[in-house]
Amino acid sequence: MRIKKLRHDEVLKPSKELKQRGAGKKFDKKMLKKQEDEEHKATSSEDKMCDANNKKGKKMLTGENALMCHQCQRNDKGRVVWCKSCKNKRFCEPCIKRWYPGLSKVDFAAKCPYCRKNCNCKACLRMIGVEKPPEKKISEENQNRYAFRIVDLLLPWLKELQQEQTKEKELEGKLQGVSMDEVKLEQADCDIDERVYCNRCKTSIVDFHRSCKACLYDLCLACCWELRKGEVPGGEEVMSVQWKNRGSGYVFGNIPKLKDGNKMVSSSRHMETPSSESCKDMAVVDVPNNPLLLWKANSDGSIPCPPKEIGGCGASSLELKCLLPENMFSELEYRANKVIKKEASAKAIDKTSEQCPCFDRSSKIRTKAIREAANRKGSSDNYLYCPDANDIQEDDLLHFQMHWSKGEPVIVCDALRLTSGLSWEPLVMWRALREKKTNGDVEDEHFAVKAVDCLDWNEVEINIHMFFMGYMRGRMHPMTHWPEMLKLKDWPPSSSFDQRLPRHGAEFITALPFPEYTDPRYGPLNLAVRLPAGVLKPDLGPKTYIAYGYYEELGRGDSVTKLHCDMSDAVNILMHTAEVSYEAKQLHKIAKTQKKMREQDLQELFGVLQSGTVPRQSSPIESDGKAVHEATKISCNNETNHTSNQSSKGLDMNALPPDDSESDVGDRPSFYQSEVQRELAQYSKHNHEVNSQHTDSDCSEQHKTGGALWDIFRREDSEKLQDYLRKHASEFRHIYCNPVKHVSHPIHDQTFYLTAEHKRKLKEEHGVEPWTFEQKLGEAVFIPAGCPHQVRNLKSCIKVALDFVSPENVGECVKLTGEFRRLPSDHRAKEDKLEIKKIALNALKEVVNFLDPLSQRSKNRDDQPIIEVEDVNKPKRQYSNRRGDLKSGEDQPNDEAIEERKPKRRGRSSKR
C-alpha cells in the first residue's frame, strides 16, 4: 500500500535535477582514463624509460631476481625491496614513497605492509574473508559484574514501565466493570522480524497498546493519555517550510531589493513582503474542520477509532491488547529483585561509588588524563576524562563508568595506535571502492556521489575522485573565491560498509576504546548486542563522514554539523585529516565577501538602517506552529569568547551590532570593516606560520592542531539552550542562507550552529557553557545520549562513528523517544528507529536468565525473544519489516535514502 512520505531530510532537494559539480552521472571512458592518468601522475621519467625497455621485449625475471611489485603489479619500475619476514612480497621504490610515506625501506625489508596487515593495494583492500578483530576475553567474574550492573540500572526503568501498563489496565477494568485482576487481554500477533508502531506518533510499541478490530489501527498508551487530556496525540502537525532560492548573489551577501526598489531592511519587514513562503508555517491544527480536532476521547476514558481522514475507520472503539505474556513483567521484576539482593551484586555495584581518581579529596588534580574544556564558575565538571588508549587497563573501565554515569563526554587519545596502521587516505579508500567496468556500463554509485554544500545546505552531485581532490587541495566557489565546504554523509552506506570496505571496517573495530561498551559484536555492556537472533535490529553503524574544513570561523558556509541530539550513545574517531592552505589573493577576496555578508546581516537580520536607526521590533518566529515574538537584544559587548582550547575565534557573521546610542551610527560599518581586517591579519599570520612549518616528510606538524572543534552541552542545560535558540532564531540562517523562520524543536530540527559570539551571549544570558575542545587525529570522542552537541571541521576530516546503547543511559534514550514522538509527522527525527524499550527488555531478560537460571522448562520458555510468532491465518497488522537506520554525530541521509529505509505498511482491509 502506498502511503505519504513520513518525513523530509533537513537538506533541501531542488525540484529539478541536483546541481552537478565536476562530471556527475555521465561518466565516459575519457574521464575514467583521465583519472587513471592523474592517479599515476607521480610516475617518474625513469619509470617511463622502463616502460619503453619493456616494450622492446625485455624478459620477465623470476625467482629471487623477480621485480614484480605487490602494490602495483608491475615489474618495470626499477629497484624493489624484498620482505625478509615472508620472503615472498616485494615493493618497488615509487610505491613505497607514494603509498607508504610513514615507512622506510628498512621497515619494508624487516616486515612489509602485507605482513603488517596494513597493505593498501587494490587486491588487499578488497580482500574477501578478512580476518575479524579478536573478541576481548572476559573473565567469569567480570561477566557476572557486568550482568549485575545491567540489572541494577534497568530495574528502576522496568518498574516505571510496569506502572504505566498497570494504570491502563486499571482503567480497562473500570470500562469492563470488573477488577483489574479479572481483566484478560487479547495478545496481538507479530512476526519476529517485524515491529509494531503507533499509527499516530510512529513510536515503537513494546507491549500494551489499543487497537481497532475492524481496521487494526494501533495507538500507543502515550497517545491515549494525551487524547484523554484533550491534547492532540503525538504532537501538532505543521506544514513543511518552503525555503526560497534567492539566487547565488543573496547567498554571498547581496541585500535583496523590494518591489519599490528599496533594500530590504530587516527580517520582520522581509516576512511582510509577498512571497511563496508566506503562511507556509501555519499549524495544521488551526485549519478549520481539521480531523485531529474532531477526534476526542469518550467521557468514560475509552478511545474511539479515529476518522478515515487520519487513518482509522471511526466505526468502533480501540481495545486494549498486549504483545507479551501478561505476567512476564511481574515475573521479570521479581527475579531481578532477587538478583539485586545477592551479596555478589551489592559488592559489584559498590565499586563504582569510590572516589574519582582524577582528583584527590581536596579537589586537586592528581592525573594527566584529563582535559579542561569549560570554565563554569562553581562547577566541578569543567574537566573531561581523557586517557591514552595505550595506557588503559582493566581498572580504568570503572573510572570511565564514574564519568559516563554522570552524563559526561570522554575523550580517548591515540586510539589509532591500537590498529595495524592501515591508511585512511582518501585515494586509498577510493581505490578500495572502485570496481572494474562490467557489461559496458559504469554504475553511478562508483563515480558520482551526493554531497552537501555547507553554504546553502543543498545537495550537489560531484565525481567522487574530484571530491577527494578537493578534500586534499581545497575547492573554491567561482568568482567569489569563497571556500567551498562539501561533506559526504554515510559514505559508503553503513549497511554495506563491511562489504565495501572490509579492511577499514576491521581496522575501526580494533581502534574502539572500552570495547565492553563499544564492540558491536560482543560488547557485554552494549545492550544492542543482546537482541536475539532474528529480531529486527537498528542500524548502529559504523558510518563514515568525510568533509572539508577551514580553521577560521567564517560565520557563513562553515563546515559544520549543526546542533543536534543523538537518540543513543555514540563514539566518534577522527581517522584522517588534511590541511588546505590559501593564497593571499584568495584571503583578500574572502575578506571582501565577509564584509558584504556582514552588511547583509546588519540590515536584514538586525535592522541597522543607513539613516542610523535601529528598529526594536521583533521578528515573528514560528515555534511549534505558533508565532512567538521575541525582541532582538542588541549586545554591547564586543569582546572575544576565546577559550583555552580555541586558539582563534574567527569572524562571527551572526554577531549582533554594538548598542551604543550615543555614538555615531555612521561609524558602525567602519568598525566591522576594521574587525574584518584585524581578523584577516591574524589569520594570514597564523596561516603563514602553519605553511612555513609544514612539510610532506613530517606529518606530525600537521597534527599539532585539532581537526574538529566540538561543543557538547550538558543535559541539564538543554531547556535553557532551547529558550535561547527560540529567542534568537531569526539571527540564524539555514537552507539557501535564508533566516530561520520556523522552529519545531530547537535541537532536533538541526538548523542551528552557535558561533563563538552566540556561545558568549548564551553564557551571558543563561549561564550555559558547553564543553569545548579540539578533536585531534586518532582521538575517540564518547558522546552520551541526550547531550546536545555541534561540530565544526578545522581541517578536511574523515571521521567514523558508531552508536551503542549503554545501560547507564537507557532512561535518557526513553526520554528522547518521548520528545521525538511529539514532532510533526514529516520531521527528520520523528520515527522511532532505535526501539530502546525493546532493546532494554531483551537485555534485562537475558542477564536475569544468566544470573538466575530457572528450571529447564522455564528456561526454555524464557529463551524465546520478547516477540511472539504470528499466526499466518490471522489478518496482518501494520508493521514495519525494514531495518531501522539510526544516525549519529552527523547530518541525516538524503531524501532518497529515507524513502528507501522508511517503514512499509501492509494493508489488510479494503477500507484502508
Q: Rounded to an integer, what distance in angstroms lies between the CA atom of residue 903 and that of residue 46?
A: 59
Q: pLDDT digit string (tens) for 317-374? A: 999 999 998 889 999 999 999 888 876 555 655 455 567 888 776 667 777 888 999 9
- C-alpha distances (whole Å) from 256 to each of 281, 403, 601, 602 are 22, 50, 12, 13
Please tell me the least confidently modeled range out of 46-50, 429-433, 547-551: 46-50
* Edge-to-edge order in the sheet of strand 619-623: 626-630, 619-623, 742-743
* Residues 120, 427: Cα–Cα separation, whole Å: 10
Residue 231: CB atoms within 10 Å: 13
Kindly give the residue spans of alpha helices, DSSP state H, lying in 406-496: 426-433, 464-473
Helix (H, G, I), strand (E, B) or coil at 657: coil
- 675, 651 Cβ separation under 8 angstroms: yes
Using 50, 70 and 90 to split pLDDT, how confident is the model at 155? very high
Phi-psi region of 824 (alpha: psi -120 to 50; beta: other; left: phi over 0): beta
Q: Which residues of 669-690 are buried (b: 16+ CB within 10 A; e: fewer)?
A: beebeebbeebbeebeeebeeb
Residues 6+ apart with CB under 8 A from 565: 718, 747, 748, 786, 787, 788, 789, 816
Q: How confident is the model at residue 34 (pLDDT cuts 50, 70, 90)?
A: low
97 is a domain residue: yes
> What is the band of 304 on the pLDDT scale with cuts at 50, 70, 90?
very high
Predicted confidence at residue 529, as pLDDT, reads 94
Residue 102 falls inside a structural domain: yes
The residue that leads in pLDDT, 599 or 774, is 774
Distance CA 575, CA 415 (A): 9
Transcribe 183-249 into DSSP letters.
Answer: --PEEP---TT-EEB-TTT-PBP-S-EEE-TTT--EE-HHHHHHHHTTPPTT---BPPP------HH
* Residue 898: DSSP 8-state: H
Give the three-state DSSP class for 516. helix
Q: Does the structure show a pLDDT above 90 at 169? A: yes
Strand pairing of 19-21 and 458-463? parallel
Closest CA to 559 of 497, 638, 650: 650
Please state, in angstroms and rounded to a whole number, the distance separating the CA atoms of residues 640 and 206: 50
Query: Would you say residue 111 lies in a domain?
Result: yes
Residue 68 lies in a domain: yes
- The answer to whether residue 163 scores a pLDDT higher than 60 is yes
In a domain, 103, yes or no: yes
Beta bridge partners of 462: 21, 449
d(CA 245, CA 456) in angstroms, rounded, equals: 9
- Backbone region of residue 130 per phi and psi (left: phi > 0; alpha: psi in -120 to 50; beta: other values): beta
Rounded to the nearest 10 degrees, the angle between the axes of helix 343-350 and helix 328-340 is 70
Write down the residue that cell numbers 582550547 correspond to.
645
Q: How many CA atoms lie within 13 A of 683 on its CB side?
A: 24
Percent of the chain with pLDDT over 90: 38
- The residues facing 627 across adjacent strands are 622
CA-to-CA distance for 554 and 601, rounded, in angstroms? 14
Q: Which of 844, 847, 837, 838 has its CA nearest to residue 866?
A: 838
Burial 258-271 (b: 16+ CB within 10 A, else e): eeeeeebbbbbbbb
Cα–chain-centroid distance for residue 898? 15
Residue 71 lies in a domain: yes
Task: Kindly report the pTM of this predicted structure.
Answer: 0.79
Q: Tens digit of pLDDT for each residue in 461-471?
A: 998 889 999 99
Q: Are 300 and 177 in contact (CB under 8 A)?
A: no
C-alpha of 281 from chain center:
27
Predicted local distance difference test score (pLDDT) of residue 687: 39
Q: Under DSSP, is residue 652 helix (H, G, I), strand (E, B) or coil?
A: coil
The residue with cell 592518468 is: 37
Q: Span 884-893, mean pLDDT? A: 48
The enclosing domain of 99 has a CATH number of 3.30.40
Q: What is the pLDDT of residue 633?
A: 34
* Summary mean pLDDT of the chain: 76
Q: Answer with the residue of higher pLDDT: 233 or 908.
A: 233
Where residue 457 falls (left for φ over 0; alpha for ψ -120 to 50; beta otherwise) is: left
Instruction: Confirm if 75 and 66 have CB atoms less than 8 A apart.
Output: yes
Least confident of 230-239, 484-493, 620-629: 620-629
Residues 5, 888 contacting (CB under 8 angstroms): no
Identify the pLDDT of residue 1. Answer: 32
Name the more confident of 289 and 149: 149
Percent of the chain with pLDDT over 70: 68
pLDDT of residue 549: 95
CA distance 520 to 528: 8
pLDDT over 50 (residue 60): no
CB of 619 closer than 8 Å to CB of 738: no
pLDDT of 747-793, one tens digit each?
999 999 999 999 999 999 999 999 999 999 999 999 999 999 999 99
Q: Which domain does 89 fall in, by range?
A: 61-116
- Closest by CA to 908, choosing from 317, 313, 319, is 313
Q: How far apart are CA 487 and CA 491, in angstroms?
A: 10
Q: What backbone torsions phi and psi does residue 253 show, to the nearest 5 degrees?
A: 105, 0
Query: How crowded is residue 759: how many other Cβ atoms within 10 Å of its Cβ?
Result: 21
The 10s digit of each residue's pLDDT in 94-123 is 899 888 888 888 888 899 998 988 898 888
Element (H, E) at 722: helix 718-727
pLDDT tens per residue across span 493-533:
766 777 778 888 889 999 999 999 999 999 999 999 999 88
User: What tens digit of pLDDT does each residue of 268-294 get?
Assistant: 433 333 333 333 444 565 566 677 888
Cell for 199? 499509527
To 10 degrees, what angle do helices 718-727 and 756-766 make?
Answer: 110
pLDDT at residue number 97: 87
- The yes-or-no verdict on residue 655 having pLDDT over 80 is no
CA trace torsion 269, 274, 276, 277 (10° rounding):
30
Q: Can you say how many angstroms the Cα of residue 844 is from the centroid of all Cα atoms in its chain?
A: 27
- Residue 90: inside a domain: yes
Does residue 899 have a pLDDT over 80? no
pLDDT of residue 825: 85
8 A C-beta contact, residue 880 and residue 904 = yes
pLDDT tens profile 834-887: 999 999 999 999 999 999 886 434 545 445 545 433 343 444 444 443 434 454
Residue 52 has a pLDDT of: 45
A 10 A CB-CB count for 865 gives 17
Q: Tally the domains of the chain.
A: 1
**Structure confidence by residue, pLDDT tens digits, 413-436:** 999 988 888 899 988 888 877 654
The answer to whether the beta carbons of residues 511 and 574 sit under 8 Å apart is no
Q: Exposed, middle or buried by CB within 10 Å (0-12, 13-18, 19+), for 635?
A: middle
CA distances from 511 to 414, 415, 499, 764, 804 (A): 9, 5, 19, 40, 15
Q: How far apart are CA 837 and CA 814, in angstroms?
A: 7
Q: What are the strands of the beta sheet with 458-463, ordered from one edge? A: 19-21, 458-463, 448-453, 486-489, 543-547, 796-804, 569-578, 780-783, 410-412, 383-385, 370-372
Cα distances from 447 to residues 7, 35, 367, 469, in angstroms, run 28, 11, 49, 13
627 touches 621 (CB < 8 A): yes
Kindly state whether residue 530 falls inside one of the protein's structural domains: no
Q: What is the pLDDT of residue 747?
A: 95
Q: Are strands 742-743 and 619-623 parallel, antiparallel or unpaired?
A: parallel
Contact by Cβ (8 Å): 321, 185: yes
147 pLDDT more than 90: yes
**Residue 315 DSSP one-character state:** S
Q: Determine the residue type at 489.
A: K
